[in-house]
Structure 1
């Protein structure tokens, strides 16, 4: 059984049922992919080159951009290739790698978003101690903890998933190797593993959600006690972008990994998965950049430098 499984490829049935709209959907997904990768790379670049952005909040934001870039590159390039190719296969090993990468990235983002809420709590509730509580060493430890926590999820669930005997149809009714879709092909009882995965995913969500809930409860209490309208506005502006990203990301993850399978259909799973694997990595940098004066100021500064350098080179020529 293992030899048959290891030597067999899976077939990804893709995102669409109606092939007549493939061209339009391909163009939309490709555009989203380009925007997402470009926006995240620009965000990482701006945070690195502008000294005003060398703060704990922007350091954690740069880690989020790295995760989003790797996350969208795990699924979308394969999806785009499959949409224009007759061969829609993915090898057994390739499927395992894809599962590990997307589990690691989504798990890392879970933890990082929770740690970003803690950062906002310290900034709003303990501003005088902020440089001490969120020094460079602490930031590095927090980021490393987020990456480690996500990778642990990948190392735990991927080997179990790939050791399940798959002896029925090789057709995965999805556009990438997502665990629930892959497990539908198993010819063994996977109820125990699905329970384990459910508990693991609940814990992965519960820990950061607890941090986020406690952090923002304390932030609301602090803001309520503020007498300055400007201080309240600054606090809400600081936290609103993060809360928007949290709501979008955790909402999709809750549906996929916590809601019982009886509430799922393959078509709904595809739509939700497309949202959090394709759309969310594009929204994150746009939400943070468009609503953030520091990021927009850094972008305008770099852009003006580039334009000035271009004018000088043109005049010299």
Structure 2
């Protein structure tokens, strides 16, 4: 933030687990932002002005120029559209919407209104991602394998929306891996085949296996208990690279690399949002979401055991 300027007022919409765990601490620690209000039907943050109706909030607080939407993807489009039409800058949690068409429409509105739209991908901000990207510029990728396995009961306890249409199922965490993939590869790849496991009582997959051009593959699973696995292993013409712990740690030729001090994924996202708003720019990269849409199109459906939280 430039010397002598005041923090920008921002409102958080949707006060659930991700907002409390990540967004609120990042904003409260930032000198660039003033968390001026929240909007939620059931949640609030101590010491922050709370609203339970979004239309009423927009009318009551025209001075809050930036809105961060932490809602599930299903209702997000309607909120984002209202915010953009009210000439507010909008930051979208990942995935940026239920469908590509929704986000394309939000892009059109943001451009017409002259405001910022930021489709954020927090895993791209992990400590090792930029370093891995720079290393791959000088190497030829021969193969890449993603293993992304975690426990849905730990990360989305009781959140049935993840298994409802638009919730994406295991693609919700899997898209984090795809956001890293599309960031670090020097050349793009495209999906060639997929197998998706749907619990017999759910509408979105609980596991997936994806194959891409360029000898790239991914395996996602939401049923892993105990230690969680978020790894990307890359073979190149100059030796192996690996990103582990969701991109937080980088290994080159089997040796862990010392990384520069890192503020964290969400502080980095909000720094990026401050920069975009300051420059009057937008950032809406849909490459990770295209892979998910392609998987839903190409994927062979396999029925799995019923799932209950």
TM-score range relative to shorter protein: under 0.3
Please tell me whether Structure 1 or Structure 2 has the larger radius of gyration of its CA atoms. 1
Q: TM-score, normalised by structure 1?
A: 0.19
Whose strand proportion is higher, 1 or 2? 2
Higher relative contact order, structure no. (Cα contacts within 8 Å, ≥ 6 residues apart):
1
Q: TM-score, normalised by structure 2?
A: 0.20
Whose helix proportion is higher, 1 or 2? 1
